[in-house]
Structure 1
Amino acid sequence: MELLTFSPSPGHHLIACSGASRCSKFETPVPLFLRRNSISAQVLYKYQKSSNNIEVGRKTKCYKKMEVLEEAVVSRSFLFQSIWRVQTFSSRSWQLLVPHGTMRLWGLAVNFFRLKEKFKRYFSVFSSRLALGVVLLTYVLFVSKTPTWALSEENLLFLEAWRTIDRAYYDKTFNGQSWFRYRENALRNEPMNTREETYAAIKKMIATLGDPFTRFLEPEKFRSLRSGTQGALTGVGLSIGYPTGVDGTETGLVVISSAEGGPANRAGIMPGDVILSIDQNSTETMGLYDAAERLQGSEGTTVALGIRSGPERKEIVLKREKVSLNPVKSRLCEVPGRDKETSRIGYIKLAAFNQHASSAVKEAIETLRRNNVSSFVLDLRNNSGGLFPEGIEIAKIWLEKGVIVYICDSRGVRDIYETDGSNAFAPSEPLVVLVNKGTASASEILAGALKDNKRAILYGEPTYGKGKIQSVFELSDGSGLAVTVARYETPAHTDIDKVGVTPDHPLPASFPLDEDGFCRCVEDSSASCNLSSLARFSR
């Protein structure tokens, strides 16, 4: 028995597929166990003569599965597509890696059967196995490889973007198209002589996915996005979205939230207001991220917005400035109780999930505990999201154990984020979470996790309903890609995309958004927004 090990060659890749929809990743090296004198082994030996990347060695032990391989190829000028992984050697079929090139005519199925305690190995062509109907048929998809010496710097940048989406994008049907064929057609037909033409080709490729959240970021825009997750950006302090989700029928773009103290907030622009135009350009057909880029700009410059607030339409000119995104504010509220006793509530306003959010929440909890609070309120209203990992870390602060979120792709659950309680910082104090239609993305993950694990009671209104997760990738020239990598489900397997998280109880319409207003409402029993008593904060 021979063990043939395929080793990688830089800059190439190997894709494993089964049927028309399922693909797997491989980890190098890839072992193939073959009889010494089999036809298939002869094919590989023949190919070995022209490649230094195949190593041959003896081994008698049979493995029960193949490890999956990513970024591997056996020769600098031959690209391979591989086989479907089979868990055991019983009544299954593996397709050999067959080169597209000199050896392109060799396509053989290797079928492994177990009879009693011994393996029988024999080989046949695809059509005979189909006729016999005794094996699971697999196939090889050949992909032509453009020789590396023929690729320009612009072609390589395009391929880098293509490969990033190929690996990361959550929908492996790529909106019902052949992603490999698109790559080959684009390299042949799209002009890529300048950086601008390459960027245009990348944007055109992304547009075929039909996903408004996956987009290309030129270097300046990528730097701006990164600065926003680090705590500050230059603009008017608005977070925007589609009126009723991506498929909304209402025209324009809705305000999800406005940064407290920012230009838009000071001008009275509120969540739920609709932006009809930006600098006299209608938003009716304007993309979400195109609009966001128009709102940002150099400090001190102005932008004119057409706003509809209820039935009223108005024009507002705002001056752009550096908006500080301080993620957390906290306040101690004293609530009168029976027999002249008072209860102390620790109020925490979480405005965004930037890289400082989880540490800031811990610090706020620590400070409030020193003031002997008996319960906490976490306000996620108008929090439009941010960094996904920070949402997970903040959930771990409050949860003793349990699932936080299921990450799903087109095949189902892909990953499970859960906690064993080792990072729990406040797992036992009573907790209330406030949400509204401005609560979106990472803040919905947090709210859903706390609700489904019965750790918190939710007050407010249904959240925005952004159930897709994006990751940001930097390309070699300083540009970047924001790619939808997954959708998520709450611990109760609820898909909240375009639906949102439903709270347990409503809040009075007059309930204020700021920390001072919150304390006033819970402290003053005569206030119209009063929650009656602390009993409202328990199930």
Structure 2
Amino acid sequence: MAAAAAMRTADRASAISYSALPALSTRVVVRGKGNNIIGQRPLLKRAIIARASQQTGRTEACQLFAAPSALGTFAAALTPYVAVLASALVAASPAAATLAPGEILQLQETLTVIWETADSGFVDPIDRLAWDQARQDASEQLEHAHKKEEGYSIMQTMLSTLGDPFTRLLAPSQSRIFQADTTGQVIHIGMQAQKADTEAGPFVRVAFVLTGSPAHKAGLHVGDIVTAINGRQAAGISSEELNRLLRRDVQLLVKQSRPNSPMATRSLYLQARPVEVYPIVYALLPGEEMGAPVGYMAIQSFGTNTGQDAAAALHSLHAQGASAYVIDLRGNSGGLVSAGLEVSGQLLHKDDVFVHVSHRDGYEGPMPVEEEGFLAGSPLAVLVNSGTASTSEMLAATLHVNAHAPLIGEHSYGKGRTQRIMNMKDGATLLVSTSLVTTPAFGRIDKVGLEPDKICRSGVDLPDALKSEPLEEEKLAGDLQADPCVRMAVHALADAPPLTDRL
């Protein structure tokens, strides 16, 4: 009887046009053996959609619906008659309502991997009830995703219930930027723009163009005036936002003046792509107060090449007679912890503690410096600011504790946790915070940051890393001497007591 009723229900559904339906719903009522269960049935829905696609050759998704006047109650016995109902659903559903069944299944598999990885390794205590509910909600919402990007957003919403902004899912487009950053590249259009104020008002000019970059190929030159970016007046955009906009596809309105040519205004659409950067900027500074030069090294990112590039820079400065060193970590948001450990191996003693590591289950132990630094024992000073984060804070802290290097600048960001990185099959990247780190003196970094010994706020732009080779040292040294924080660091080195008095 129940099966016959289900068949009649499906037959009635097949005779109803889509426009005649008073409502659409994915709610299914299932009755059987005394139970009255009302809820979503994603597996049944996926089976119906797959069968419909197989029969018709159509790959667009089909909505499982129950029209109050037509489908009423689905009996549990409906499943054997999926094929009958499927043909009605294909005719009644709007085109391309959701992703194809195979795409939804792939997203569901990604969701499972993400949930299990975070569940087993996330460093903070988990609210089990909220976390389990977040998974259930995400799974149900994925059944109705219209685009893959929507699916990634649903999974990110699930991760956000953990309360950690650093545990996140990067969609394939975002993953591309992340992968470039960790391999010594940036996604960029290949130009730097600089704001300037004149009597005629503020304006933005092109300050640097990287050879072979999208900007270079489009014919941009240093001195060109940028009047609009993505339809907005360029002069009204802050310097920080300006730098961010140049790291993605962008529409520029540019005024150009060339020899023997009148001023021309061009509209350019530039697509960002990976460009090589030089993560280390260094120069020899005069050190009259110390009786010997001071080596300056800025580390602007911690990628796969940072350790070897830093070693080359420090060896060059040492060969030129540097007797003390300023390590500039301002604006460095971090990167690979292993790269920070490599740099410490040039400056500290073997087995000095880089950081202490803890997981959800408790303290794991110290992470030691793995090499004897050829500059171990040299006087050091470290520059930090609010943009100094993660691996940069770890390096600053270990130099402060182990080498007694004064911290000069502003309070650091406060990210003292590391992430496990997983590359997903679909091109996305998952980052899960799996450990907390503290300073060699067990000082907290996460959500606290590092307090400078001497406060200094510099309005001078940091050296530019968007270069294919090191900057000219002589010009850089002159620019650095105009930086009050660099000058303060040099003075701090000159005033420091002999190393034997500090040990």
TM-score (norm 1): 0.52
2:309 paired with 1:360: yes
* Residues 405 and 236 of structure 1, relative CA distance in 2, 3 Å threshold: farther
The within-5 A match list for 1:32-181 is 152-173=105-126, 175=127, 177=129, 179-180=131-132
Q: Corresponding residue for 2:259?
A: none
Name the CA distance, whole Å, in 1 between partners of 2:125 and 2:230: 36
| AA in 1 matched with 2:284 | L
Secondary structure of the residue aligned to 1:222 is helix
Deviation at residue 507 of structure 1 after TM alignment: 3.9
Deviation at residue 415 of structure 1 after TM alignment: 4.5
Q: Corresponding residue for 2:352?
A: 402
Q: Between Structure 1 and Structure 2, which shows a larger proportion of strand residues?
A: 1
Q: Map Cα deviations across residues 160-213 of structure 1 (whole Å, 9 max, x no partner).
A: 22222223321241x453645654565467516777264344233223223222
* Residues 466 and 456 of structure 1, relative CA distance in 2, 3 Å threshold: same
| AA in 1 matched with 2:110 | L
Aligned residues: CA RMSD:
4.3
Q: Corresponding residue for 1:497?
A: 446
Count of matched residue pairs: 331
Contact (CA 8 Å) 2:121, 2:360: kept in 1 or not? no
2:286 paired with 1:301: no
The within-5 A match list for 1:315-354 is 324-337=276-289, 342-354=291-303
Q: Map Cα deviations across residues 223-262 of structure 1 (whole Å, 9 max, x no partner).
A: 2210122122334799xxxxxxxxxxxxxxxxxxxx9989
Contact (CA 8 Å) 2:408, 2:456: kept in 1 or not? yes
Contact (CA 8 Å) 1:334, 1:523: kept in 2 or not? no
Q: Corresponding residue for 2:177?
A: 224
Q: Map Cα deviations across residues 461-507 of structure 1 (whole Å, 9 max, x no partner).
A: 22122223233211122212122223321112222233321122234
* Residues 211 and 279 of structure 1, relative CA distance in 2, 3 Å threshold: farther
Q: Corresponding residue for 2:32?
A: none
Name the CA distance, whole Å, in 1 between partners of 2:345 and 2:321: 22
Secondary structure of the residue aligned to 2:388 is coil
Question: 1 or 2 for the larger relative contact order (CA 8 Å, sep ≥6)?
Answer: 2
* Residues 446 and 516 of structure 1, relative CA distance in 2, 3 Å threshold: farther
Name the CA distance, whole Å, in 2 between partners of 1:217 and 1:469: 16
Contact (CA 8 Å) 1:348, 1:379: kept in 2 or not? yes
Contact (CA 8 Å) 1:161, 1:475: kept in 2 or not? no
* Residues 438 and 410 of structure 1, relative CA distance in 2, 3 Å threshold: same
Q: Between Structure 1 and Structure 2, which shows a larger proportion of helix residues?
A: 2
Contact (CA 8 Å) 2:410, 2:457: kept in 1 or not? no
Secondary structure of the residue aligned to 2:454 is coil
The within-5 A match list for 1:108-507 is 152-173=105-126, 175=127, 177=129, 179-180=131-132, 182-183=134-135, 186-187=138-139, 190-191=142-143, 196=148, 198-235=151-188, 296-298=247-249, 301-302=251-252, 324-337=276-289, 342-400=291-349, 401-419=351-369, 422-507=371-456
Contact (CA 8 Å) 2:394, 2:439: kept in 1 or not? yes
Contact (CA 8 Å) 1:437, 1:464: kept in 2 or not? yes
Gaps of 5+ in 2: 1-103, 192-206, 216-221, 224-228, 233-241, 254-267, 464-472
Name the CA distance, whole Å, in 1 between partners of 2:293 and 2:441: 32
Contact (CA 8 Å) 1:407, 1:489: kept in 2 or not? yes
* Residues 260 and 432 of structure 1, relative CA distance in 2, 3 Å threshold: farther
* Residues 183 and 534 of structure 1, relative CA distance in 2, 3 Å threshold: closer
Q: Corresponding residue for 1:70?
A: none
Deviation at residue 449 of structure 1 after TM alignment: 1.1
Deviation at residue 405 of structure 1 after TM alignment: 1.1
Secondary structure of the residue aligned to 2:400 is helix
How many percent of aligned residue pairs carry the same amino acid? 29
Name the CA distance, whole Å, in 2 between partners of 1:483 and 1:301: 35
Contact (CA 8 Å) 1:301, 1:319: kept in 2 or not? yes
Name the CA distance, whole Å, in 1 between partners of 2:486 and 2:171: 50
Contact (CA 8 Å) 1:467, 1:488: kept in 2 or not? yes
| AA in 1 matched with 2:329 | L
Contact (CA 8 Å) 1:397, 1:423: kept in 2 or not? yes
* Residues 533 and 439 of structure 1, relative CA distance in 2, 3 Å threshold: closer
Gaps of 5+ in 1: 1-150, 239-258, 268-276, 281-290, 304-316
Name the CA distance, whole Å, in 2 between partners of 1:186 and 1:321: 32
Name the CA distance, whole Å, in 2 between partners of 1:528 and 1:157: 48
